[in-house]
Structure 1
Amino acid sequence: MRRTAMITAALAMAVSGGLAMAPSATAATACPSGAVCIRETNGSILSKNIFYSYGAHNLSNVTGYRVIVNNQTGGAGFQVCRGYNGGGDCSGVVRGTGEYTPYNMTPINSVVLVR
């Protein structure tokens, strides 16, 4: 429960700070409409880190500080979880669209898209 509160607090701080400072517009790859994306440290987005469908998506080799982009429509949100398949400690659901402050993804093993 304590870890969940820390994850939620970290994401809430990112949300309250508004849009994050991301790589410059010329260097950053756009996240497609309707998706949640995780940027590489160089600003690109790998196809394996673009998520469209609701539910849990396991991560592979996503470590360090990364920018998460919520480009879903209709108020859909996401949460990050320490366990695979959306298990373990998870953050609260984040629904704001845009880019979030870089977040330490090393302990994160899945992203869950929610309606």
Structure 2
Amino acid sequence: MRKIMTTAAALSLAVGAGFAVAPNAQAATPCPSGAFCIRETNGDILSRNIFYSYGAHNLSNVTGNRVLVNSQTGGAGFEVCWGYNGVSCSGVSRDTGEYDPYDMTPINSVVLVR
């Protein structure tokens, strides 16, 4: 009984501190170093959504809220674009790591920039 109470108290503390508790959750697929990636809604990264080369990359079947991951090195960034072939783009984002979920439904391409 004491162990159960200790475990319950630890979980309450973790939740109160803002940590998510998901005992059966799997870790999301990592984005390879030097790449820009778009996660699927389940956390996976499909090989077609891993980009290494600079320039425009047209997207296919990438809709809904997706996490964008910039693992590029050397200060490289990316833009999301409403048109194909890198037309009508956002500003350049250079921070590395995961970005908050972004609605990719109107997005048709991404551009990787130096």
Q: TM-score, normalised by structure 1?
A: 0.77
Distance in 2, Cα, partners of 1:41 & 1:26: 13
Question: Counterpart in 2 of 1:104?
Answer: 103
Q: Runs of 5+ in structure 2 lacking a partner?
A: 1-19
Query: RMSD in angstroms over aligned alpha carbons?
Result: 1.7
Distance in 2, Cα, partners of 1:64 & 1:70: 19
Judged with a 3 Å threshold, the aligned counterparts in structure 2 of structure 1 residues 85 and 69 are, in CA distance, closer, same or farther, namely same
Question: Counterpart in 1 of 2:82?
Answer: 82
Question: Counterpart in 1 of 2:47?
Answer: 47
Distance in 2, Cα, partners of 1:65 & 1:108: 11
Distance in 2, Cα, partners of 1:59 & 1:40: 13
Runs of 4+ displaced beyond 6 Å? none
The Cα offsets for residues 67-106 of structure 1, whole Å up to 9 and x where unpaired, read as 000000000000000000001x211000000000000000
Secondary structure at the counterpart of residue 86 of structure 1: coil
Q: Runs of 5+ in structure 1 lacking a partner?
A: 1-20
Offset at residue 26 of structure 1 (A)? 3.4
- Aligned residues of 1:27 and 1:44 also touching (Cα < 8 A): no
Distance in 2, Cα, partners of 1:99 & 1:69: 4
Offset at residue 30 of structure 1 (A)? 0.3
- Aligned residues of 1:39 and 1:45 also touching (Cα < 8 A): yes
The Cα offsets for residues 51-76 of structure 1, whole Å up to 9 and x where unpaired, read as 00000000000000000000000000
Distance in 2, Cα, partners of 1:108 & 1:99: 18
Secondary structure at the counterpart of residue 48 of structure 1: helix
Distance in 2, Cα, partners of 1:79 & 1:25: 30
Q: Percent identity?
A: 80
Which amino acid is the alignment partner of residue 98 of structure 2?
E
Offset at residue 25 of structure 1 (A)? 8.1
